[in-house]
Amino acid sequence: METTSFTYKTGPCSDVLIIGGGLAGMYSALAAAESGAAVRILCKSKTGGSGNSVVAMSVHRFAPDAPGLREDYRRRFLASGAGQQDAEIAAFFVDHAAAAMERLRGLGLPLEYRTLSENGGEYPYLACCSPKQGRILTKAVREKLNEYPNITVEDGVTVCDILTENGRAQGVLALCGGEMRVYPAKTLILCCGGAGNVYAATSNTHDVTGDGYAMAARCGLPLRGMEFVQFYPYRIYSPKRADIFPDLFDHGAVLRNEKGERFMDCAKYPMKELENRDVVARAEFAEKEVRLDLSGCDKAYLERECPNIARMARDNPDKPLLIRPVAHFFMGGVPLRTDCSTDVAGLYACGEVTGGLHGANRLAGSALTETVVFGAIAGKNAAEYAAADADTPETAAAAGRVLSTYPELGTDPLRDLRDDLRETMQKDASVIRTKEGMEQALGEIDKIKAALCERRPASLAKWNELRNMLLTAEGVTRAALERKESLGAHCRAD
């Protein structure tokens, strides 16, 4: 690749610089600010209005310290991870979830305790007051940030690379509009979410493109468990897009194939549509078409809890509500530690960008709890690290090294390469995987990488996003090829 010399401006130095404006980012900002640090959030989109935290269905699962309940949660959490979790971290998480939920509620946010009917049991969780929409919570947390004069929020800033020197984080290189900026910082918290958009069909918001995995990998961090991608089986994609809360199937909704058969109603699936997500996703994957049938559904429940779906059905009486499994959650990522540190000194990580907590599959409702439990820890520890550190961050040499790898600009929108990558991953590395398919996918990824080196991108932001998606897709596919047995959300057909 031809090299070029970009110029950049240098922004102010932060004690704690947070990459990502989802729930993990905002919650870690609150904790760092409470510890007295000068905090800056850089968000590619809009802090509190972007990322999967906004579209989440607002289930924050936890277990109170009551006889049997916590043990049951621990057992179910570990069973879901199929032995691939870091046991110490899983136990830590289960033990800290209830207190973290109580602290979250103590912020005076619009949350209430509820119970979830699942597999014949009733389980506690914290949720936004009706309707269950993550954006109600993220908006409230975003408003909380305004109460702290030591938090600065910069939206529309894409972090492209983490700058390191001698194994220590020094700051980041970011794009703001067409302008390059270096932001020096004493500590960084990486929390830019997962990577659903490496697949053509996803429930994720458009800004979730694997940037965190790729940035971590580029600064030498290993990633763990990247083959474990959860596919959500309850996504309506036509006539409009919407996610269904699985509770709906407890209130009379059913899935049917194009012949009208309720294909989950057989001895193989005792829990019917409420089988584990990966089981339902695989059953759907085998059908030509899957429809949501609301004819037997409790109408009052539907109107109250899923007003968007009730409206969609009302507005389109002649159109079937079509469903397909979509890339939903990445269990893998930057190895999570209980103190949220990483192998790069001064770099912390929390939220979906981390891996190891959920193992091979995630128990529903535990990702939002994770952002809160570990967001608080990352923020506090990063602030303490910054307070104890007298060194001034040194960014110039690292910025020069990184910029020498950036391409000449031209006019190419790169859209075809992005589409090719997403379709390839969907076809060959999604719900059901084979050696042959994944080898084809890797071949295609190599071709797209080679093409990206030849092209002159119209926008550095698009180029950066695509290189991140490629690195993430390659990581997922290589890990999936390596793992020959089916486990959790990873299913091998060969």
Ligand X SMILES: Cc1cc2nc3c(=O)[nH]c(=O)nc-3n(C[C@H](O)[C@H](O)[C@H](O)COP(=O)(O)OP(=O)(O)OC[C@H]3O[C@@H](n4cnc5c(N)ncnc54)[C@H](O)[C@@H]3O)c2cc1C
- Contact stretch for ligand X (CB under 6 A) within 203-211, 255-263, 306-314, 443-451: 203-211
Single-letter code of the amino acid located at 189? I
How far apart are alpha carbons 189 and 242 in whole angstroms? 31
Contact between 101 and ligand X per CB under 6 A = no
Output the six-digit token pair for 194.
Answer: 């997962």
Beta carbon of residue 318, minimum distance to ligand X (angstroms, whole number)? 27
Mapping DSSP to helix (H, G, I), strand (E, B) and coil, where does residue 454 land?
helix
Q: Identify the residue among 45, 133, 150, 430 touching ligand X (CB under 6 A).
A: 45
Q: Identify the residue among 11, 51, 325, 488 touching ligand X (CB under 6 A).
A: 51
Beta carbon of residue 260, minimum distance to ligand X (angstroms, whole number)? 28
Q: Are 369 and 97 in contact (CB under 8 A)?
A: yes
Contact between 329 and ligand X per CB under 6 A = yes
Contact between 328 and ligand X per CB under 6 A = yes
Contact between 207 and ligand X per CB under 6 A = yes
Q: Identify the residue among 25, 81, 356, 457 touching ligand X (CB under 6 A).
A: 25
Closest CB to ligand X among 19 and 297?
19
Q: How many CA atoms lie within 13 A of 94 on its CB side?
A: 20
Strands 179-190, 9-10: pairing kind: parallel
How far apart are alpha carbons 285 and 377 in whole angstroms? 39
Tell me the residue length of the chain: 494
Beta carbon of residue 270, minimum distance to ligand X (angstroms, whole number)? 24
Beta carbon of residue 26, minimum distance to ligand X (angstroms, whole number)? 8
Contact between 203 and ligand X per CB under 6 A = yes
Beta carbon of residue 222, minimum distance to ligand X (angstroms, whole number)? 19
- Contact stretch for ligand X (CB under 6 A) within 161-169, 205-213, 311-319, 437-445: 205-213
DSSP symbol at 407: P
In the region spanning residues 341 to 380, those forming contacts with ligand X, defined by CB under 6 A, are 351-352, 365-368, 371
How far apart are alpha carbons 12 and 19 in whole angstroms? 15
Beta carbon of residue 59, minimum distance to ligand X (angstroms, whole number)? 4
- Contact stretch for ligand X (CB under 6 A) within 52-60, 143-151, 423-431, 443-451: 52-60
How far apart are alpha carbons 493 and 30 in whole angstroms? 45
Contact between 21 and ligand X per CB under 6 A = yes
Q: Where are the alpha helices (DSSP H) in 120-244?
A: 134-145, 211-218
Q: Identify the residue among 31, 43, 188, 190 touching ligand X (CB under 6 A).
A: 43
Q: Identify the residue among 14, 35, 50, 430 touching ligand X (CB under 6 A).
A: 50
Residues belonging to the active site: 277
Contact between 335 and ligand X per CB under 6 A = no
Contact between 111 and ligand X per CB under 6 A = no
Beta carbon of residue 276, minimum distance to ligand X (angstroms, whole number)? 15
Mapping DSSP to helix (H, G, I), strand (E, B) and coil, where does residue 422 land?
helix
How far apart are alpha carbons 452 and 471 in whole angstroms? 12
Q: Are 181 and 11 in contact (CB under 8 A)?
A: yes
Closest CB to ligand X among 44 and 186?
44
Closest CB to ligand X among 118 and 444?
118
How many residues interact with ligand X (rule CB under 6 A)? 40
How far apart are alpha carbons 201 and 140 in whole angstroms? 30
Mapping DSSP to helix (H, G, I), strand (E, B) and coil, where does residue 231 land?
strand
The CA R_g of the chain, rounded to the nearest whole Å, is: 22
Other C-beta atoms closer than 10 Å to the C-beta of 320 total 16
How far apart are alpha carbons 331 and 193 in whole angstroms? 11
Residues that bind ligand X (CB under 6 A): 19-25, 42-45, 50-53, 55-59, 158-159, 191-193, 203-204, 207-208, 211, 243, 328-329, 351-352, 365-368, 371
